[in-house]
């Protein structure tokens, strides 16, 4: 073995070999009758960039899967790709300059783009040692097979009466010309003006502060806070909107902020998300105010003007007519197209025909389901429950986009009746495919229309447990593997991926989809804030892997407590690398002596042997419990401490005299047998965490004697593999050796230099133990003569 451990060559070699047919059996879901263990892993959005967050969950799932395989499970570790998102459409539209109007061409270009992105990300996953069952369980939400399942499940939900269509406001980016998911929007601070506008009320007037005077035409009510004493007398009255003249009622609502402007607000359809809530809550009329290009509509002579122009023009007219009381410069938060895009255009709310899933009805059932799941960590359950409590409207599942799974329904334009396709015709694209019937079953109208709407991406990804367990495709596999054992994911998508999956799978199968949920936190930038390119605090996994190796990065990330957010730190990665070198060097040392497998049975163990065996037994107990409970930080720390400090620092030092000087063949064999056993057990416990170095060591030292294809097809160590021994005597010897060593250091005597004479004073009982191990103590510390005296504990060197 080489002196220096070089992760780069060794890791890449194993990553390739693990993907070869020779090793496939190790990682394959075999469906061979063994108990199964199924992990529902996150399908990442195919952005092309595999960041530290992705790598973190890949490491978690890979470690869990390798561990469970060693525990005798038939593990199903799938990996999917969440392909169909707006960012891809924008890239294809602007970078590749493909127009959206030709839907077929545009879609095929999106697929081409996505395939490139997937191969980039997959390469990154492989570099961290991630080894899912790509061969059988790689799925892509843009594939026709996947579409088919998404559409099939929507039809099942339609048959249960859970799908309907109605007009509803959507988040709209007028620059990108598309609807956005709420998750793609965010607040940015912007300079703006607050206009104080007079509204007529009886013979008097009231004053309302607004940043959006261009929406006056769409004002449908006015609201005050019920606790605002100033306006008690105007409640229930009607005010007249300036310029446009409509009369609107004054209502009260707790959500009105009495400190903003004058404490009176106008409700328009729609200025912001609060307006949507109020419109729903009070069943207010809807006046469409803005069109898809961001132009004002239904607004007299202002119709057709861009939002900004209309605002200027209306303010000017308000001033002329004496309705404008004052204007104020303000900094305010504006909802904009912020996520996965640098667009930053303020969001408008457009009323569109939308498809819905009746999700509000399932709030109580979902809360019951949350109680049935084992949560790791426990406190994450409350996050889901709080979210369920907050749900105010049904799930809008349609998006006005191109690259997505087509909504699989036609509808009657006259009566609104929904017409699903025949299941055998799936997948369908109702924007071009013919409906299965020519007239409406409800009203006989021939006016049947398809839709160009596509599904919200969460509709795609909320059936991953059904996809991987072969729901409706292979009953035998499905009944064996559903519900899946764990869903692993980040805490940022509890409200979306977790909630939607639970909802859809419960509705579709009658059973919740997971037994346990394992939730990870975020890896933040070293400065403790979220990694972002604009802040310059992004650390790419590639940097860590090329400097220190995947196994080093794996140790460092597994040292984080599951569920919490952590700033990225290099120290544990560096420590991880040093640990690998320590492991390598120790194995290199041991390998000089291991020429055969020497069984430990019937060997005469000395006190130090018993001590290291008892330490290892203790380590197996702690690590096994930690691995079972997903407390990887405890497992990694315990393994590192045991191996470095107990085995390398103490045991190997103490065993050297026996290896080099022993005239006693039997004792030499015992020492070698103990070393073999310790390293063999250790690398198996360490294999799920650092799969590369342990595989290399296995092949160099152990494969000839043990015969498994890979270390990852061996079993996880148990206490039964080691004799029950009393390590107490040995511990005393280890302690006295450590004390004398410290004394040598204090006296500036090199550790390898001889010492003529040592006096050890201690209790009689301890002296007995020391005397029994006198030869060893002398050899390890290069002492010529030791005198043992009863008395207060002390050590003298000469
Ligand atoms: Zn945009
Ligand atoms: Zn009809």
Least confident of 350-354, 474-478, 574-578, 688-692: 350-354
In this prediction, residues 723-736 reach a mean pLDDT of 96
762-788 tens-digit pLDDT: 999 999 999 999 999 999 999 999 999
In terms of Cα–Cα distance, which of 18, 101, 13, 27 is closest to 68?
27
Question: How far away, in angstroms, is 352 Cα from ligand 2 center?
Answer: 20
Select the more confidently predicted residue: 605 or 174: 605
- Band (pLDDT 50/70/90 cuts) for residue 535 is confident
In terms of Cα–Cα distance, which of 362, 664, 731, 716 is closest to 510?
362
Q: Which residues contact 38 (CB under 8 A, 6 or more apart)?
A: 75, 76, 468, 469, 481, 482, 484, 485, 486
The ligand whose atoms approach the alpha carbon of 337 most closely is 1
Residues in the chain: 798
Question: How far away, in angstroms, is 638 Cα from ligand 1 center?
Answer: 50
Question: How far away, in angstroms, is 184 Cα from ligand 1 center?
Answer: 9
Question: How far away, in angstroms, is 406 Cα from ligand 2 center?
Answer: 22
Tokens 């996505």 locate to 114
Question: How far away, in angstroms, is 398 Cα from ligand 2 center?
Answer: 21
Strands 484-490 vs 348-357: parallel, antiparallel or unpaired: unpaired
Question: How far away, in angstroms, is 305 Cα from ligand 1 center?
Answer: 19
The ligand whose atoms approach the alpha carbon of 341 most closely is 1
Element (H, E) at 515: strand 514-520
pLDDT score of 351: 87
Please give the mean pLDDT across all residues of the chain.
95
Residue 217 CA from chain centroid, whole number: 45
Select the more confidently predicted residue: 183 or 588: 588
pTM of the complete model: 0.90
Question: How far away, in angstroms, is 343 Cα from ligand 1 center?
Answer: 5
d(CA 130, CA 58): 6
Instruction: Say if residue 656's pLDDT is above 80.
Output: yes
The ligand whose atoms approach the alpha carbon of 444 most closely is 2
Tally: H helices and E strands in the chain: 27, 28
Question: How far away, in angstroms, is 489 Cα from ligand 1 center?
Answer: 28
d(CA 109, CA 346): 28
In this prediction, residues 254-260 reach a mean pLDDT of 95
The token duo for 429 is 């694209």
The token duo for 679 is 């390293």
pLDDT score of 256: 96
In 338-476 the beta strands, taken as DSSP E runs, fall at 348-357, 374-376, 395-396, 398-399, 410-412, 418-419, 448-449, 454-455
Maximum CA pair distance of the chain? 115
The ligand whose atoms approach the alpha carbon of 177 most closely is 1
In this prediction, residues 120-146 reach a mean pLDDT of 98
546-573 tens-digit pLDDT: 999 999 999 999 999 999 999 999 999 9
The ligand whose atoms approach the alpha carbon of 446 most closely is 2
What's the helix, strand, coil split of the chain in %, to 5? 45, 20, 35
Question: How far away, in angstroms, is 407 Cα from ligand 2 center?
Answer: 19
Question: How far away, in angstroms, is 174 Cα from ligand 1 center?
Answer: 7
CB contact at 8 A, 411 and 393: no
Element (H, E) at 546: helix 541-548
Instruction: Say if residue 622's pLDDT is above 70.
Output: yes
Backbone CA torsion sign across 273, 274, 277, 282:
negative
In this prediction, residues 280-286 reach a mean pLDDT of 93
The token duo for 608 is 């130090």
pLDDT score of 670: 95
d(CA 615, CA 725): 10
In terms of Cα–Cα distance, which of 726, 791, 727, 719 is closest to 759?
791
The ligand whose atoms approach the alpha carbon of 294 most closely is 1
In this prediction, residues 731-745 reach a mean pLDDT of 95
Question: How far away, in angstroms, is 439 Cα from ligand 2 center?
Answer: 8
DSSP 554-618: HHHHHTSPTTS-EE--SHHHHHHHHHHHHHHHHHHHHHTT-SS----TT----HHHHHHHHHHHH
Q: Which residues contact 475 (CB under 8 A, 6 or more apart)?
A: none
The ligand whose atoms approach the alpha carbon of 184 most closely is 1
235-253 tens-digit pLDDT: 999 999 999 999 999 999 9
DSSP 306-369: BHHHHHHHHHHHHHHTT-EEEEEEEEEEEEEE-TTSS--PBPEEEEEEEEEE--GGGHHHHHHH
Instruction: Say if residue 228's pLDDT is above 70.
Output: yes
Question: How far away, in angstroms, is 167 Cα from ligand 2 center?
Answer: 17
CB contact at 8 A, 355 and 396: yes
pLDDT score of 330: 95
Question: How far away, in angstroms, is 663 Cα from ligand 2 center?
Answer: 99
Question: How far away, in angstroms, is 443 Cα from ligand 2 center?
Answer: 4
Question: How far away, in angstroms, is 168 Cα from ligand 2 center?
Answer: 21
d(CA 649, CA 143): 55
pLDDT score of 203: 87
The ligand whose atoms approach the alpha carbon of 413 most closely is 2
Q: Which residues contact 481 (CB under 8 A, 6 or more apart)?
A: 36, 38, 76, 468, 469, 470
- Band (pLDDT 50/70/90 cuts) for residue 790 is very high
CA distances from 55 to 7, 133, 555 (A): 18, 17, 12
The token duo for 338 is 């912020």
pLDDT score of 663: 82
370 cis-preceded (ω within 30 degrees of 0): no
CB contact at 8 A, 277 and 249: no
pLDDT score of 154: 98
Question: How far away, in angstroms, is 175 Cα from ligand 1 center?
Answer: 5
Question: How far away, in angstroms, is 342 Cα from ligand 1 center?
Answer: 8
In terms of Cα–Cα distance, which of 790, 791, 780 is closest to 740?
780
Question: How far away, in angstroms, is 437 Cα from ligand 2 center?
Answer: 12
Residue 199 CA from chain centroid, whole number: 51
* Beta bridge partner(s), residue 206: 199
pLDDT score of 340: 65
Question: How far away, in angstroms, is 173 Cα from ligand 1 center?
Answer: 5
pLDDT score of 112: 98
Question: How far away, in angstroms, is 419 Cα from ligand 2 center?
Answer: 10
Please enumerate, as own/partner, the contacts of 296-303 that have beta carbons within 8 Å and a separation of 24 or more: 296/214, 296/217, 298/217, 298/218, 299/214, 299/217, 299/244, 300/217, 300/243, 300/244, 302/214, 302/217
d(CA 311, CA 572): 56
Question: How far away, in angstroms, is 399 Cα from ligand 1 center?
Answer: 14
Question: How far away, in angstroms, is 417 Cα from ligand 2 center?
Answer: 5
Question: How far away, in angstroms, is 24 Cα from ligand 1 center?
Answer: 45
CB contact at 8 A, 80 and 64: no
What is the dihedral angle through the alpha carbons of 49, 52, 57, 61, rounded to the nearest 10 degrees? 90
Residue 700 CA from chain centroid, whole number: 36
CB contact at 8 A, 555 and 690: yes
- Compute the radius of gyration of the chain from its Cα atoms: 35
**Phi, psi (rounded to 5 degrees) for 45:** -65, 135
Least confident of 72-86, 276-290, 338-352, 372-386: 338-352
295-328 tens-digit pLDDT: 999 999 999 999 999 999 999 999 999 999 999 9
In terms of Cα–Cα distance, which of 337, 335, 351 is closest to 292?
351
In terms of Cα–Cα distance, which of 451, 443, 481 is closest to 75?
481
Question: How far away, in angstroms, is 289 Cα from ligand 2 center?
Answer: 29
Question: How far away, in angstroms, is 282 Cα from ligand 2 center?
Answer: 30
In this prediction, residues 139-165 reach a mean pLDDT of 97
Instruction: Say if residue 534's pLDDT is above 70.
Output: yes
In this prediction, residues 609-634 reach a mean pLDDT of 98
CB contact at 8 A, 694 and 684: yes
DSSP state of 265: E
Q: Which residues contact 343 (CB under 8 A, 6 or more apart)?
A: 90, 173, 175, 176, 336, 337
Question: How far away, in angstroms, is 534 Cα from ligand 1 center?
Answer: 18
CA distances from 292 to 58, 286, 373 (A): 40, 17, 43
d(CA 672, CA 678): 10
315-372 tens-digit pLDDT: 999 999 999 999 999 999 999 988 766 788 999 999 888 999 999 999 999 999 999 9
pLDDT score of 60: 98
441-466 tens-digit pLDDT: 999 999 999 999 999 999 999 999 99
- Band (pLDDT 50/70/90 cuts) for residue 692 is very high
The ligand whose atoms approach the alpha carbon of 437 most closely is 2
In this prediction, residues 269-294 reach a mean pLDDT of 92
- Band (pLDDT 50/70/90 cuts) for residue 422 is very high
pLDDT score of 601: 86
- Band (pLDDT 50/70/90 cuts) for residue 680 is very high
In terms of Cα–Cα distance, which of 661, 755, 680 is closest to 721?
680
pLDDT score of 71: 98
Question: How far away, in angstroms, is 161 Cα from ligand 2 center?
Answer: 17
């Amino acid at each position: 073995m080489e002196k220096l451990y070089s992760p780069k060559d060794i890791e890449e070699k194993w990553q390739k070999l693990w993907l070869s047919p020779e090793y496939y059996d190790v990682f394959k879901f075999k469906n061979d009758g063994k108990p199964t263990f199924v992990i529902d892993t996150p399908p990442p959005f195919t952005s092309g960039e595999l960041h530290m967050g992705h790598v973190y969950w890949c490491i978690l799932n890979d470690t869990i899967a390798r561990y469970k395989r060693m525990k005798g499970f038939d593990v199903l570790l799938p990996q999917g790709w969440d392909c169909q998102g707006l960012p891809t459409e924008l890239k294809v539209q602007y970078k590749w300059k493909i127009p959206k109007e030709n839907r077929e061409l545009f879609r095929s270009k999106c697929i081409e783009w996505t395939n490139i992105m997937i191969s980039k990300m997959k390469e990154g996953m492989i570099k961290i040692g991630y080894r899912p069952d790509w061969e059988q369980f790689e799925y892509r939400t843009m594939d026709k097979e996947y579409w088919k399942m998404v559409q099939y499940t929507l039809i099942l939900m339609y048959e249960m009466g859970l799908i309907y269509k109605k007009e509803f406001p959507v988040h709209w980016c007028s620059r990108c010309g598309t609807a956005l998911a709420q998750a793609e929007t965010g607040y940015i601070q912007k300079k703006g003006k607050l206009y104080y506008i007079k509204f007529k009320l009886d013979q008097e007037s009231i004053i309302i502060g607004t940043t959006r005077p261009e929406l006056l035409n769409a004002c449908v009510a006015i609201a005050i806070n019920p606790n605002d004493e100033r306006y008690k007398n105007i409640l229930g009255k009607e005010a007249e909107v300036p310029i446009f003249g409509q009369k609107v009622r004054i209502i009260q609502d707790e959500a009105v902020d009495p400190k903003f402007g004058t404490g009176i607000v106008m409700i328009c359809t729609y200025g912001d998300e609060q307006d949507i809530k109020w419109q729903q809550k009070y069943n207010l009329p809807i006046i469409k105010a803005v069109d898809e290009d961001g132009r004002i509509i239904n607004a007299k002579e202002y119709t057709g003007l861009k939002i900004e122009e209309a605002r200027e023009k209306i303010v000017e007219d308000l001033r002329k007519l004496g309705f404008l009381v004052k204007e104020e410069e303000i900094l305010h938060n504006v909802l904009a197209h912020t996520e996965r895009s640098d667009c930053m255009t303020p969001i408008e709310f457009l009323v569109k025909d939308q498809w819905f899933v009746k999700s509000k009805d399932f709030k109580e059932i979902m809360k019951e389901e949350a109680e049935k799941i084992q949560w790791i960590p426990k406190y994450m359950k409350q996050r889901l429950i709080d979210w369920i409590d907050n749900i105010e409207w049904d799930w809008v599942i349609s998006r006005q986009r191109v690259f997505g799974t087509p909504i699989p329904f036609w509808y009657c334009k006259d009566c609104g009746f929904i017409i699903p396709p025949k299941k055998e015709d799936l997948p369908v694209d109702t924007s071009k495919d013919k409906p299965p019937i020519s007239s409406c079953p409800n009203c006989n109208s021939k006016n049947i229309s398809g839709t160009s709407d596509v599904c919200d991406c969460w509709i795609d990804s909320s059936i991953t447990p059904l996809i991987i367990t072969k729901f409706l495709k292979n009953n035998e596999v499905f009944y064996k593997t559903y519900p899946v054992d764990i869903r692993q994911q980040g805490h940022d998508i509890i409200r979306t991926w977790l909630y939607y999956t639970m909802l859809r799978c419960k509705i579709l199968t009658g059973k919740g989809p997971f037994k346990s949920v394992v939730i990870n936190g975020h890896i933040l930038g070293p400065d403790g804030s979220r990694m972002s390119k604009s802040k310059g605090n992004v650390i790419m996994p590639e940097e860590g892997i090329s400097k220190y190796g995947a196994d080093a990065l794996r140790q460092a990330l597994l040292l984080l407590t599951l569920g919490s957010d952590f700033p990225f730190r290099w120290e544990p990665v560096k420590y991880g690398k040093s640990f690998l070198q320590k492991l390598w060097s120790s194995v290199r040392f041991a390998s000089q002596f291991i020429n055969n497998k020497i069984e430990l049975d019937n060997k005469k163990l000395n006190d130090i042997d018993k001590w290291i065996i008892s330490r290892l037994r203790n380590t197996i107990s702690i690590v096994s419990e930690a691995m079972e409970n997903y407390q990887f930080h405890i497992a990694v720390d315990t393994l590192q401490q045991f191996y470095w400090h107990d085995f390398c620092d103490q045991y190997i030092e103490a065993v050297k005299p026996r290896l080099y000087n022993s005239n006693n063949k039997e004792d030499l064999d015992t020492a070698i047998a103990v070393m073999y056993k310790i390293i063999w057990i250790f690398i198996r416990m360490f294999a799920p965490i650092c799969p590369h170095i342990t595989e290399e060591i296995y092949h160099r030292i152990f494969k000839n004697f043990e015969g498994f294809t890979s270390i990852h097809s061996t079993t996880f160590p148990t206490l039964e593999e080691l004799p029950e021994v009393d390590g107490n005597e040995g511990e005393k010897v280890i302690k006295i050796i450590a004390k004398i060593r410290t004394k040598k250091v204090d006296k500036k005597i090199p550790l390898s230099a001889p010492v003529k004479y040592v006096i050890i004073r201690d209790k009689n009982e301890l002296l007995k133990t020391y005397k029994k191990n006198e030869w060893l103590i002398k050899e390890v510390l290069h002492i010529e003569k030791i005198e043992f005296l009863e008395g207060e504990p002390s050590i003298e060197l000469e």
